[in-house]
Amino acid sequence: MSTPYYLPEDKVPLPPPDAEVFTTCCDYCIVACGYKVYRWPVGQEGGVKANENAFKKNFPVGALGRWVSPNQHNIVMANGKPHHVVIVGDSDTEAVNLTGDHSIRGGCIAQKVYNPSKPTKDRTGFKDL
């Protein structure tokens, strides 16, 4: 049996201005840092200008600016169609981690959602976000 190659993503789509936005929290520990989930159909993509993406930021941002890593992106089925999801720390939260900070563990919660092309393929339920 051969070992499958791991080909990491080297590009992450930006959510378009009309992406759906949900708030959620990390469930890895009792802190429950806040996150925002941006969801939009596969086939659409936001642009690098502030008026072309849901973050309302010009990209690339500075070295310490908010950017989206490949671990913060995934593809899910929603309403019967494939959708992009980008899950990032919620800098608007009024509860904990007010600046949208998070640990490396929580920062990767986008990888927990079911995707038959990723390690979550061994999960039998929770296929929709």
Q: Which residues bind ligand SF4 (CB under 6 A)?
A: 26, 28-29, 31-33, 102-103, 105-106
SS3 label, residue 117: coil
> Nearest 5°: CA angle at 16, between 20 and 90?
55
CB atoms within 10 A of CB 1: 3
Task: Tell me how far, at minimum, the Cβ of 100 lies from ligand SF4, in Å.
Answer: 10
Task: Tell me how far, at minimum, the Cβ of 23 lies from ligand SF4, in Å.
Answer: 14
Closest-by-Cβ residue to ligand SF4 is 106
Q: Which is nearer to ligand SF4, 28 or 59 (CB)?
A: 28
Distance CA 52, CA 46 (A): 5
Q: Which is nearer to ligand SF4, 1 or 30 (CB)?
A: 30
Find residue 82's DSSP bridge partners: 77
Distance CA 61, CA 63 (A): 7
Q: Which is nearer to ligand SF4, 9 or 101 (CB)?
A: 101
Task: Tell me how far, at minimum, the Cβ of 102 lies from ligand SF4, in Å.
Answer: 4
Distance CA 12, CA 89 (A): 16
Q: Which is nearer to ligand SF4, 31 or 129 (CB)?
A: 31
CB atoms within 10 A of CB 36: 20
Task: Tell me how far, at minimum, the Cβ of 124 lies from ligand SF4, in Å.
Answer: 25
